[in-house]
Structures are given as C-alpha cells and as structure tokens.
Chains A and B, each alone.
Chain A
Amino acid sequence: MALLEVDNLSIWFHTRNGVVKAIDSVSFSVAEGETLAIVGESGSGKSVCCYSLLGLIPSPPGNIESGTAIFDGRDLLTLSERELRKVRGSKIATIFQDPMTSLNPYLTIGEQLIEPLLYHRAMSRKDARGRAIQLLDEVGIPGAKQRFDSYAHEFSGGMRQRVMIAMALIAEPRLLIADEPTTALDVTIQAQTLQLIADLQKQRNLAVIFISHDLAVVAGIADRVAVMKDGQFVEYGPTEAVFDRAQHPYTQSLLAAIPGGAKPGSPATSSSSPDSPLIEISHLKTWFNGTEETTSNATVKAVDDVSLSITKNEILGIVGESGSGKSTLGRSILQLVKTTSGSIKFDGEELCGLTPHQLIPYRRRIQMIFQDPYASLNPRMTVFDALAEPLRYHGLATRKTVLPQVLNLMDDVGLAASAMRKYPHEFSGGQRQRIAIGRAIATKPEFIVADEPVSALDVTIQAQILELILRLVEKHNLTMLFISHDLSVVRYICDRVAVMHGGELIESGATETLWHHPQTPYAQSLLAAVPRLSSRSS
C-alpha cells in the first residue's frame, strides 16, 4: 500500500477567458522511501498538482472537479481546513524554490524552527531548542549552536536551503514535497543539496515528491518519473524506462532539448588564427566601495586583475558561480559599472575612462542581452517601440524606413509581424527574450555581451533561443561574450571557455579541452557537479 495514492485528479481554473484544465485526470502514487519526480515546463500544472494535496489552491478560480488523494488512509481532498492544517507541516512538509522569500526575515531561524514544536507538539522551549540544533547539525550547518540565533539574510543561498530542509523535517513528516528546491542554487551547491535530500530520505524512510523542470537533475535521484504537459501525465513510469525508452513525443523533445554535446559543426580546437582580437582586456579591476589606494573591509573585488582577449567571430563563455564576478566583467566591458583600473580595448581603442558622450559611438557597436526578459523590456513600450528606438536614436532608420526595418528584425528573431503592437506582458518568456535579442542586434553591433540569456527559460525554449543565438552569430558575424552558470549550455554554444572564481579568472581554454581535461581543482569540482543524464544511479 502506497503512502499517497492520487486517483483521477482533475483541477480546473475558471478564468474570465474560460476554463483552464490545470490538472486533467492525473493518477499517481508514492510509497515510503520512494522518490517520485514530476517534470514539466512552467505552466504545465506540476505545482498545482502538489499544492492541491495541501488544500493550497486559491479557490475560486481553482476548483477540484474530481478525484481522490488517499494519504495514510484518508482522502486529503475531503478534509476540512482544520484537519488539513494538522496534515500540513506535520505529516506532509514542503520545500520551496526560493529559500529567501519563504523565511521570515524578522525572526531568527531558530525561532522559526521551533515554532511547530512549541505549538503542535507542546514541547518545552529547551527541548525544542535542543531538537532544532540537532537537526541543523544533521542538515550540515556548521556551528549549529551559534547559527540558531542568526537571521535568514546571514546565510548563503545554499545554507538557507538547508535551513528550509531542516524546517520541513522538524515535525517528522512522512511525505516531503520539494518544489524546485535547487533551481535557485549554484551547480556545486545544487549537487550537495540533492545529496542531502537523498541521505535524509534514506535515514527516515521518507516519501518524496520532487518537482522540477530539469530532467538532468531528476535523472540522478528519482525512482519514478512523471512528465507533465498541459495538466496531463504524458509519460509515467520507472526512471530507467522514461529516459531510455520514452514513448511520448513530448518527452523525447524534452530529452532532445537538454544541451548535451559539443558545439555543433565546429572543430574542438579554437581557431588560433593570428587575427587581431576584437576585445582585449588587460589587468582589469572592478572594485566596489574602494580603489587601489583606499581599500577597506567593505571593498568588494568583484573583478580582480582579469586579462583576456576575444577574437572576431568567437563566442567566449564565462562560467562561474553566483558572486564570481562574471556579470560584473560583462558590465565592465559595456562600461555600465565604473572600472577601478586596467584597460579594455575594443577594436584597438580604449574604452575605460571615456565620458558617456564619448561612449555613444561604441554603444552602437557593443550590445547586451540580459538574463531576465521580464525586467529588461520597458513594460510600457510596444515591440515596435522597443525595436525602433535604437534604430531611430542612432540614425539608422528614417521615419519612412523604420517600419520595414523593424519587421525585418522581427523576422530575424522569429517573431510574427502581427505581434508588433503588443506589449511585453502579452508574450511568454521565450518570446520576450526574442524581443530583447532583436533589440540587441538592431544596431548591427559587432560585439554582444549575453548575460545568462537562457537561464530564466524552460528547457525546450532554451534550446530554441540557443539555436537562434548561434544562427544570428553566424549570419551577422557577431563576436560574443556568453556568461552562464550552466556548463552544458556553455559547452553547446561556446568556442572557448573561461572559468571565474572570486573575481579572478582561474582557467581558460578551448571548450572541449577544458570540458575533458580541466586543470585547476575548482574547474574540476565545477564540472563534476554538473547533473548529467548519464550519471543515473542504479
């Protein structure tokens, strides 16, 4: 008998524009000690599916149309709010994606940890404290006794997620729902967190439902996998079967979309042509809160003595964890942040120290693609306005020619002409990123800095955008600095890769060389942590 058995569950959302079948006749079960992974893209219904078990669906508009969810002999869907409250937290616990927003910033983490013990278990404060410290220790928080009285902001992202896991486990639940618990984490931290969840599961014989958009992450930890699309399970079975013998075309396309190979159509070695480099950076330092003469404790050496060069038509990847300075490096090249010392030469001309006015001609030739397509487009400008602005501003189009030029651009990035008068919020993430890319190539730049351009996108969309970038680089002879935390993406798209750590550039080389033979220990650990489909545990 499985711990949780969901049968024929259907949840519909009654919206102004009709009924959305968020969950459509879904059945699944989880046994103790087992991990079920639910995989799907955003909007596929995977989160709704789990939140409905806890009675957390906003209703209206949501409504449970049919189905049962038998947990430990009782149907969760028929429980009253009072009874559900007892189940939540104590029998079924949840870990959310963003550990910062799910912790109360005004309470110490210890206070938040012992809360359920004080109220649900009627434990004494002293016992609860002891129990909490023991658990913090168990989830690998060093110096648990001292950290008990720390606030959420005093922890790093990975540590915060560990605190969340401790919070989920404190009431000894039997089922753990993990909603994208590692999506916001760096790759090495992700690997550690996944390992931690697996260990705790084994010790406590927990049932785990693991929600993720990332098949590669799921491959290493799940016993069974359900692939969700438009509210339905299109594929459901043991992990082996789903990955090796995917039946449904959607699963196959998901698997195919995982960037899992070398850059297509390029030799593994970099073109060591004697071309003069387009970008030449030497001894660049970008420090915040201090200069070389006036350093203090507050000084952050975001970029510290970095030298590199990028030849024409090359895509150079910069990889590193968050805080490694890779974004600051990109912004330094664009002179969006003030550099401390060193030089950045573009096409032989020095960029550092130019006034905003002197920079204008270079602004046309150097462009940027941002990470978050939701934030990088002005919400009050239509696609037409967003694309026409750089053209008109740099005098590349007249009032007469701007319309065909914009349509041309939209065609280039794969947007329908009918979308011209729409505003950014009317598009999906992938389409928004296409608009942003269109804006970046509008001025026919020679060099583009792409800062995590696909990390906010679903995996199939990510593959399409990567294809688009490769095609545009080819078509317009672009040179690119591609910043990413995702090594498989970088491997797929870049000719050369540079690894950054703590503001310094520690290793660089041709992509395939570095992928197979990393030299520095840090690069080795980074590569080892990349979740791969082939690393499935038996």
Chain B
Amino acid sequence: MVIPDEWLVMNDDLTLPGATDTERGSSLWRDAWHRLRKNKMAVGGLFILILMCVLALLTPWIAPYSYEEQNLVLGAAGPSAQHWLGTDTLGRDLLTRLLYGGRISLAVGFIATSVALTIGVLYGTFAGYFGGRVDATMMRLVDILYALPFMIFIILLMVIFGRNILLLFLAIGAVEWLTMARIVRGQVQSLRQQEFIEAAISMGLSQWTIIRRHLIPNTLGPVIVYTTLTIPSVMLFEAFLSFLGLGIQPPQSSWGLLISYGVETMEEYPWLLIFPGLALSTTLFALNFLGDGLRDALDPRASKD
C-alpha cells in the first residue's frame, strides 16, 4: 500500500526572507551548500581532506628530512623524538616519505578522477541524450575499450612517451571514465523520458542548456557516490602500477607503494604498514562522509532540516 507523501513529510515552512536578495547562479548549489554545512560528518570529512591537501602542498617546506636521505646505521627504527613515525629499513624518515607520498597519491586520486569524471559525465550524457545511432556508436566504442586489456594500453603509453607522472594521471583517468560513462548514460536515458525534459524543449531551451541545467544536476547522486569510490581505487591502482615498475619509482614514494613495502616487513616493523595504512584509510573515510553528505545535500528530497 502507498502512504501519501504528505504524511511522511510535513511541510514545515522554509520561508526565507527571499524577496530581498537578488538571485545569482543556481539556487540548487546554494541550498546544497546550506544543507551540507549542517551535516557534521560531511563537514568533518571536507576539513580533513582540505588539511591533507594543504599538508601535501607545503611538504617541501615542512618535511623534517629529505625523502631520499638514508641513515643505514639507524636502519628500521620505531617512532622516536627524532623520527616521529619511525624510519624504514634504509633509515629514511617515514613521516617525510608519507608526506611526499601523499602528494603523489592525492594528486593521482584527484586528477585522474577528475579526468574520468569530466570525460565520463560528458560522454555518457551525450550518448544518453541523443540516443539512437549516436548512442549505439558511442557505447560500442566504450565496449571496445572495456575489452582492451588496460595494462597493455598503459604499458604502450609508457613505452611511447616515457615514464611521466602526468601521463600516469591521464592513463588511469582514461581507463576509469568508462564505467562513469555507462552509469551516466543509463541515468540520462531514463531522465530523457521525463516530462520536465519535454517541457524544457517546448520552452525553446537549447540542447546544451537542457543538458547542463536539467540533465546533469539530476544525475549527480550516483555520480558522486561513484566518484568517492573511484578516488581510492585509483590510488590503489597507482600502487599496483608502481609495483610493476610502471608508475613512480623509489626513492620517490606514494601511499600505495609505502603500504606494499610495509606489507613485506609487517612482522618485524609493523609501523611501516600501520602509518601509511592509517593515512589512506583516513582519506577514504573522509571522502565517503563527504560523498554521502554531498549526495544528500544535492537532492532536495533527501533530507529535511
């Protein structure tokens, strides 16, 4: 049986002193920001992420040691006053390496995901919106790319252009956008049938305006959730590539690399696994809280404040 909406959602009056402020931009984003600010978990997540990024940017100035400075006499030592998080088997300061590793990991996570997000959302929206033959061609291309072993693709890129950190971002982004495109296309296809899109067409809006104002905002929920899942998987993907010798190389570091080395020496030197692991999982938690908060904030129907 169906319970009428009215019973579950009582309309408390949201009256804003509206009539005074002149409108700029979309109220969706402004309202979303209002709602997001009330979500303590999401704000906490956002704060942690900003802190991480600031630390990563300032690393060259705040890191206590150089990332390649070895102290073979000291070797692997536990946390101490000189080395807060201890040192690795070569006597390198773990805090320093963690900070430098964060630069790489966060950059890979955010840049590669942005690449995937931009391509995926635009590609999926166009395919879903225009439908028919355009859609068929565009999605077959996606299928073909899916079928290609991405390792070969990345190895080829590395061989042709040489090892390059920027290329790594692009290569990972170029693999990750496929799923995003599929998700968005499915969303857009079902939205396309809705009357409000027809209303927008009969209003005479251009196709680009319809896509930008009416379609994309309504696909945001799943897109945001998928994005928060993509960032960590991209970070781990980078570790995997580096492990195979295709990503970044020692003495440079990333969280993924630190973790994979940490795993090898887990029994003797547990701090080499614990601290990088903590850094990565804190970021993931923060991302998830922020992602959930954003999804709810961007859906006017989700929360009642």
Give chain B nearest CB distance to A407 CB in angstroms. 7
Contact assessment for B10 and A17 in the assembled complex, using a CB-CB cutoff below 8 Å: yes
Contact assessment for A15 and B10 in the assembled complex, using a CB-CB cutoff below 8 Å: yes
Contact assessment for B202 and A336 in the assembled complex, using a CB-CB cutoff below 8 Å: yes
Measured in the bound complex, the distance between the Cα atoms of B205 and A356 in whole Å is 10
Contact assessment for A334 and B202 in the assembled complex, using a CB-CB cutoff below 8 Å: yes
Contact assessment for A385 and B202 in the assembled complex, using a CB-CB cutoff below 8 Å: no
Measured in the bound complex, the distance between the Cα atoms of B204 and A428 in whole Å is 27
Q: Which of A283-291, A389-397, A485-493, A523-531 contacts B (4 or more CB under 8 A)?
A: A389-397
Give chain B nearest CB distance to A141 CB in angstroms. 28
Q: Which of B21-29, B166-174, B180-188, B245-253 contacts A (4 or more CB under 8 A)?
A: B21-29
Q: Which of B9-43 contact A (CB under 8 A)?
A: 9-16, 18-19, 22-24, 26-28, 31
A400 beta carbon closer than 8 Å to chain B: yes
Known contacts A43-B6, A425-B301; A403/B199 CB under 8 A: no
Give chain A nearest CB distance to B296 CB in angstroms. 13
A464 beta carbon closer than 8 Å to chain B: no
Measured in the bound complex, the distance between the Cα atoms of B204 and A336 in whole Å is 11
Point out the residue from A47, A393, A428 that lies within 8 Å of B205, measured CB to CB. A393
Known contacts A51-B1, A367-B203; A418/B18 CB under 8 A: yes
Measured in the bound complex, the distance between the Cα atoms of B209 and A394 in whole Å is 13
A423 beta carbon closer than 8 Å to chain B: yes
Q: Which of A408-429 contact B (CB under 8 A)?
A: 417-418, 420-423, 425-426, 428
Contact assessment for A389 and B3 in the assembled complex, using a CB-CB cutoff below 8 Å: no
Measured in the bound complex, the distance between the Cα atoms of B13 and A485 in whole Å is 36
Instruction: Kindly count the residue-residue contacts between A and B in the assembled complex, taking CB atoms under 8 Å apart.
Output: 136
Measured in the bound complex, the distance between the Cα atoms of B24 and A400 in whole Å is 11
Give chain B nearest CB distance to A379 CB in angstroms. 6
Give chain A nearest CB distance to B185 CB in angstroms. 19
Using Cβ atoms and an 8 Å threshold, which residues of chain A touch B6? 43, 428
Give chain A nearest CB distance to B240 CB in angstroms. 38
Known contacts A376-B196, A379-B300, A426-B14; A359/B3 CB under 8 A: no
Contact assessment for A380 and B203 in the assembled complex, using a CB-CB cutoff below 8 Å: no
Measured in the bound complex, the distance between the Cα atoms of B201 and A443 in whole Å is 14
Contact assessment for A47 and B2 in the assembled complex, using a CB-CB cutoff below 8 Å: yes
Give chain A nearest CB distance to B15 CB in angstroms. 4
Using Cβ atoms and an 8 Å threshold, which residues of chain A touch B218? 378-380
Known contacts A370-B198, A379-B218, A426-B14; A403/B23 CB under 8 A: yes
B195 beta carbon closer than 8 Å to chain A: yes
Known contacts A359-B204, A379-B218, A420-B18; A439/B199 CB under 8 A: yes
Measured in the bound complex, the distance between the Cα atoms of B3 and A56 in whole Å is 12
Contact assessment for A43 and B213 in the assembled complex, using a CB-CB cutoff below 8 Å: no
Contact assessment for A356 and B4 in the assembled complex, using a CB-CB cutoff below 8 Å: no
Give A27-43 as 1s and 0s: 1 = Cβ < 8 Å from B's Cβ atoms. Answer: 00000000000000011
Contact assessment for A48 and B1 in the assembled complex, using a CB-CB cutoff below 8 Å: yes
Using Cβ atoms and an 8 Å threshold, which residues of chain B touch A360? 204
Contact assessment for B1 and A376 in the assembled complex, using a CB-CB cutoff below 8 Å: no
Classify chain B: how many residues form its interface, as a range.
Answer: 35 or more
B161 beta carbon closer than 8 Å to chain A: no
Known contacts A372-B195, A375-B195; A380/B201 CB under 8 A: no
A26 beta carbon closer than 8 Å to chain B: no
Point out the residue from B14, B203, B300 that lies within 8 Å of A389, measured CB to CB. B203
Measured in the bound complex, the distance between the Cα atoms of B22 and A403 in whole Å is 7
Contact assessment for A436 and B199 in the assembled complex, using a CB-CB cutoff below 8 Å: yes
B71 beta carbon closer than 8 Å to chain A: no
Closest chain A residue to B196, Cβ basis: A378
Measured in the bound complex, the distance between the Cα atoms of B201 and A379 in whole Å is 16
Point out the residue from A58, A418, A436 that lies within 8 Å of B3, measured CB to CB. A58
Classify chain A: how many residues form its interface, as a range.
Answer: 35 or more
Closest chain B residue to A427, Cβ basis: B11
Contact assessment for B300 and A423 in the assembled complex, using a CB-CB cutoff below 8 Å: yes
Closest chain A residue to B5, Cβ basis: A425
A136 beta carbon closer than 8 Å to chain B: no
Closest chain B residue to A47, Cβ basis: B1
Contact assessment for B28 and A385 in the assembled complex, using a CB-CB cutoff below 8 Å: yes
Contact assessment for A389 and B22 in the assembled complex, using a CB-CB cutoff below 8 Å: no
Measured in the bound complex, the distance between the Cα atoms of B213 and A420 in whole Å is 18
Most chain A CB neighbours (cut-off 10 Å) among B1, B10, B194, B209: B1
Contact assessment for A376 and B195 in the assembled complex, using a CB-CB cutoff below 8 Å: yes
Measured in the bound complex, the distance between the Cα atoms of B22 and A407 in whole Å is 13
Contact assessment for B196 and A388 in the assembled complex, using a CB-CB cutoff below 8 Å: no
Point out the residue from B4, B198, B217 that lies within 8 Å of A380, measured CB to CB. B217
B160 beta carbon closer than 8 Å to chain A: no
B121 beta carbon closer than 8 Å to chain A: no
Contact assessment for B204 and A363 in the assembled complex, using a CB-CB cutoff below 8 Å: yes
Closest chain A residue to B198, Cβ basis: A336
Q: Which of A444-475 contact B (CB under 8 A)?
A: none
Closest chain A residue to B11, Cβ basis: A426
Measured in the bound complex, the distance between the Cα atoms of B278 and A279 in whole Å is 70
Point out the residue from B9, B22, B28, B299 that lies within 8 Å of A400, measured CB to CB. B22
Contact assessment for B207 and A15 in the assembled complex, using a CB-CB cutoff below 8 Å: no
B144 beta carbon closer than 8 Å to chain A: no
Closest chain B residue to A57, Cβ basis: B1
A71 beta carbon closer than 8 Å to chain B: no
What is A's interface to B at a CB cutoff of 8 Å?
13, 15-18, 20, 22, 42-43, 47-48, 51, 56-58, 331, 334, 336, 356, 359-360, 362-364, 366-368, 370-372, 375-382, 384-385, 388-390, 393-394, 399-400, 402-403, 407, 417-418, 420-423, 425-426, 428, 436, 439, 443
Closest 10 pairs between A and B when the two form their complex, measured CB to CB: A363-B204, A423-B300, A17-B10, A376-B195, A43-B4, A375-B195, A418-B15, A370-B195, A368-B202, A378-B196
5 A-B interface contacts by CB (under 8 A): A368-B202, A370-B199, A378-B196, A381-B213, A421-B27
What is B's interface to A at a CB cutoff of 8 Å?
1-16, 18-19, 22-24, 26-28, 31, 194-196, 198-205, 207, 209, 213-214, 217-218, 298-301, 304
